[in-house]
Structure 1
Amino acid sequence: MSIQYAILGILSYRSMSGYDLKKIMQDSPVFPWSGNNNQIYKSLVELLEAGLLSHEVVHQESSPSKKIYSITDAGSEALKRWARSEPEPPEWKKLFLAQLAWADVLSAAELDGLIGRYEEEVESRLRLHEERIRRASFAPARTVRESALWDMINENVLDLYRNEKAWIRKLRARLADVTK
């Protein structure tokens, strides 16, 4: 998935500035990009040049002027074509598993510490996403179906973290069995 389609999708919800786009990308577990300025603004320029976005400059009294970006009809069509395209297969690669694959070189205490730190990170991300849901961060709900889609996206993310916590418990149990 290209960051450009994420930008088109967000702007199909409502017009906004590049800064607002950046905040949404950074706060969302749905978008795999960091949302740094280079990614966002380079893509905005490309989308403008392709005629998929338009923008207007809004002058503000006490702040610098800002550009507000909007999706064009051509941008809506491009988003629709992408939404119809073949879905990408799920990504299952986790760097922690590569680290764990060679963790037999660690002492029992070091291995336990490694697993504990990973467990804390998973728990932290679970709590963070629960808080995002509670605060109702970016989740368009223009229709009942769109609301259901975003609810299920959030549920998928929560389930990933909950599954990972369950797997960590199984990992600890298995390691306890082999060290007896």
Structure 2
Amino acid sequence: MSIQYAILGLLSWKPSTGYDLKKVFEDSPYLYWSGNNNQIYKSLMQLQKEDLISGETIHQDGAPSKKVYALTKKGISALKTWILSGTEAPEIKKPFLIQLVWSDMLSNQELEQLLSDYEKTIETQLTVQKEKYDREKDWPNRSPRETFLWNMVAVNLMSTFQSELDWTRKVRKQLQRFNSESDQ
């Protein structure tokens, strides 16, 4: 995901400061961004330079000034063009799978521990995502369709973790069966 398009999308929802955007990226399971804060501010400067967003400095009594960014008509057009540009297949990066393919060198007990630990990690992530979903539905809701789409993104994320959890349990179960048969 290009952070610039994520920023344009967020600003299509409501004008925001760089700090507000940073918080959304940190708190949202749906707008994952692994970059640093400097990239957000660099992107804001670039988007403003390209007239895709505007920035207004707001002076505050007893607090530092803040710059609030808003989407321009040109920004709306760029965002819409990007949305319509087609999609790429999702990137699937699972370091655990690399560990697993080489895990034949482990003892049965070590492999079971590896899988058990991974299962616990996935269970924790699934629980966290469900709690976030239940607790905070802080997403744009300008229309019933928009609310539905954000909801479906949340469901997709949770189903990904659920599928990974189901797969891990299946692997553990089949390995236990395999190990008991090979011990005989």
Q: Same fold (TM over 0.5)?
A: yes
**Given that residues 11 and 70 in structure 1 are in contact (C-alpha distance below 8 angstroms), is that contact kept between their aligned partners in structure 2?**
yes
- Could you say which residue in structure 1 is the equivalent of 2:4? 4
Query: Which SS does the other structure have where 2:92 is aligned?
Result: coil
Deviation at 1:133, TM superposition (A): 1.2
- Could you say which residue in structure 2 is the equivalent of 1:100? 100
Equivalent-residue separation in structure 1 for 2:14 and 2:123 (angstroms): 33
Between Structure 1 and Structure 2, how many residues are aligned?
180
- Could you say which residue in structure 1 is the equivalent of 2:87? 87
Matches within 5 A, 1:25-174: 25-34=25-34, 36-174=36-174
Query: Which SS does the other structure have where 1:56 is aligned?
Result: strand
Q: TM-score, normalised by structure 2?
A: 0.93
Equivalent-residue separation in structure 2 for 1:141 and 1:51 (angstroms): 26
**Given that residues 54 and 71 in structure 1 are in contact (C-alpha distance below 8 angstroms), is that contact kept between their aligned partners in structure 2?**
yes
Q: State the 4+ residue runs in structure 1 displaced beyond 4 angstroms.
A: none
Structure 2 residue runs of 5 or longer lacking an equivalent are none
Equivalent-residue separation in structure 1 for 2:98 and 2:117 (angstroms): 15
Equivalent-residue separation in structure 1 for 2:39 and 2:137 (angstroms): 21
**Given that residues 122 and 164 in structure 1 are in contact (C-alpha distance below 8 angstroms), is that contact kept between their aligned partners in structure 2?**
yes
Equivalent-residue separation in structure 2 for 1:21 and 1:36 (angstroms): 12
Query: Which SS does the other structure have where 2:68 is aligned?
Result: strand
Deviation at 1:159, TM superposition (A): 0.4
Query: Which SS does the other structure have where 1:58 is aligned?
Result: strand
Distance 1:135 1:62, change over 3 A: farther
Deviation at 1:63, TM superposition (A): 2.2
Partner deviation per Cα, 1:2-21 (whole Å, 9 max, x = no partner): 11000000010000111110
Equivalent-residue separation in structure 2 for 1:39 and 1:118 (angstroms): 31
Partner deviation per Cα, 1:15-62 (whole Å, 9 max, x = no partner): 011111011111222223135211101110110100001011112223
**Given that residues 108 and 179 in structure 2 are in contact (C-alpha distance below 8 angstroms), is that contact kept between their aligned partners in structure 1?**
no
**Given that residues 57 and 67 in structure 1 are in contact (C-alpha distance below 8 angstroms), is that contact kept between their aligned partners in structure 2?**
yes
Q: Report % sequence identity.
A: 48
**Given that residues 119 and 169 in structure 2 are in contact (C-alpha distance below 8 angstroms), is that contact kept between their aligned partners in structure 1?**
no
CA RMSD of aligned residues (A): 1.3
Equivalent-residue separation in structure 1 for 2:117 and 2:58 (angstroms): 46
**Given that residues 8 and 79 in structure 1 are in contact (C-alpha distance below 8 angstroms), is that contact kept between their aligned partners in structure 2?**
yes
Structure showing greater radius of gyration is: 2
Q: TM-score, normalised by structure 1?
A: 0.94
Structure 1 residue runs of 5 or longer lacking an equivalent are none
